[in-house]
Structure 1
């Protein structure tokens, strides 16, 4: 489903070029749950942004569901994100002036979905994330865990084939973190949605089928579910 070939990302800064990714290559199978780990500044969030078409690589190709993102213009990338990708962020990124229901419906409204269909979809998604009684609440009235569940419901509104989650449990306590990970895992297993998750948390990464370790802009190792292949890989996370 996802193919990353020889991808580099270079940012031109006043102090000189900053290389965020260096000739990166990876594959993610359809329906797979992959965790990307690495220290701060390693390039893992940059990689996630490139997979979602939020940015373009300096060199290389990224193909998602047969679509080469490097050949799309800005408008085409926007349509790709709207139809193919659900984003989940550490800080939830809910609009504070909108209710839970309105936040979930954002992409549907932008896609000119009929109002009766929007209402049906929002109700279904609220049920899926166990927030049936929060449709009229505002984000400030919810706990962090509830806000993240709203963010996941919003990500699911357009029935994406891919969820990209950037530190989805980073601001949550252990109980809420476990709930969010269980929800992502269930969506992956039952709905067959491909999930790529960036995380610092090695325990959180264990829900994934595969762990990819990024350091200094390069993929340095992959680990199977249940742990890294060897202690050397774990040490690279320090």
Structure 2
């Protein structure tokens, strides 16, 4: 599903070049749930952005769902993100002037999905993430856990093969965080969606099948969790 080979990412800063990733190698099979951990500045979010086509590596090769990303132009990467990948962010990134339904429908509308199909898909997703009765609410009227469920529903709208989640429980209390982890785990196990989640929380990471640990931009450990196959 995902092959990362000798990927480095160097940012040119005023103070000098900063290497966020150095010769990283990662292989992820279809249907796996992967947690990426490491200290602040270790390259976790940079790796996630590269996997999602939000950024390009300085060197190395990245293939996601059969698509070689480093060879794509901006328009091609936008189409890749819109049709292949669902993003879930720590800060939800919902549009405040749009309702729950409108936020979920964003990618569908951008893809010129017929209105009747949009309504059907959005209604199904709202039920799937347990937000019945909230379709007309605005983000400011929702709790943090509810906003993150909207973000998950939005990520699912285009039936992505891959969900990339960057600290999806980082702004939530333990109960709401557990709800989001159960939702991601169910989507992974029941619908076969590959999930790659950046987290600093060891408890959240235990939801995954494997934990990939980064330090100073390099992969230093890749561990299969005990009982992963039975989760």
Q: Which runs of 5+ in 2 are unaligned?
A: none
The root-mean-square deviation of aligned C-alpha atoms, in Å, is 0.8
Does structure 2 conserve the Cα–Cα contact (< 8 Å) formed by 1:20 and 1:216?
yes
Q: How does 1:30-41 map to 2 (within 5 A)?
A: 30-41=30-41
Contact 1:161 1:193 in 2 (8 A): yes
Give the equivalent residue in structure 2 for 1:49: 49
> Residue deviations 1:29-61, cap 9 Å, x none?
000000000111110000000000000000001
Distance (whole Å) between structure 2 residues aligned to residue 171 and residue 62 of structure 1: 30
Separation in 2, partners of 1:178, 1:15: 41
Tell me how far 1:222 sits from its aligned partner. 1.5
* Aligned-partner Cα distance in 1 for 2:22–2:178: 33
Q: In structure 1, what is the Cα distance between the partners aligned to 2:63 and 2:176? A: 33
Deviations 1:121-166 (A, max 9, x none): 0000000000011000000000000000000000000000000000
Runs of 4+ in structure 1 off by over 4 angstroms are: none
Output the TM-score relative to the length of structure 1. Answer: 0.94
Is the CA contact 1:207–1:225 (under 8 Å) kept in the aligned structure 2?
no
The verdict on how the C-alpha distance between 1:140 and 1:226 changes in structure 2, with shifts beyond 3 A counting, is: farther
Alignment partner of 1:133: what SS? coil
Give the distance between the partners of 1:220 and 1:149, measured in 2 at CA.
Answer: 32
Shift of 1:66: 1.1
Q: Is the 8 A contact 1:11 1:18 kept in 2?
A: yes
1:201-236: CA deviations, max 9, x gaps? 001000100000001000101122149xxxxxxxxx
TM-score, with normalisation over the residues of structure 2? 0.97
**Counterpart residue number, 1:72:** 72
Separation (CA, whole Å) in 1 of partners of 2:218 and 2:9: 11
Deviation string, structure 1 residues 150-201 (Cα, Å, up to 9, x no partner): 0000000000000000000000000000000000000000000000000000
The equivalent of 1:194 in structure 2 is 194
Distance in 2, matches of 1:107 and 1:51, equals 19
CA distance in 2, matches of 1:129, 1:160: 16
CA distance in 1, matches of 2:226, 2:37: 14
User: How far apart, in 2, do the equivalents of 1:49 and 1:147 lie?
Assistant: 22
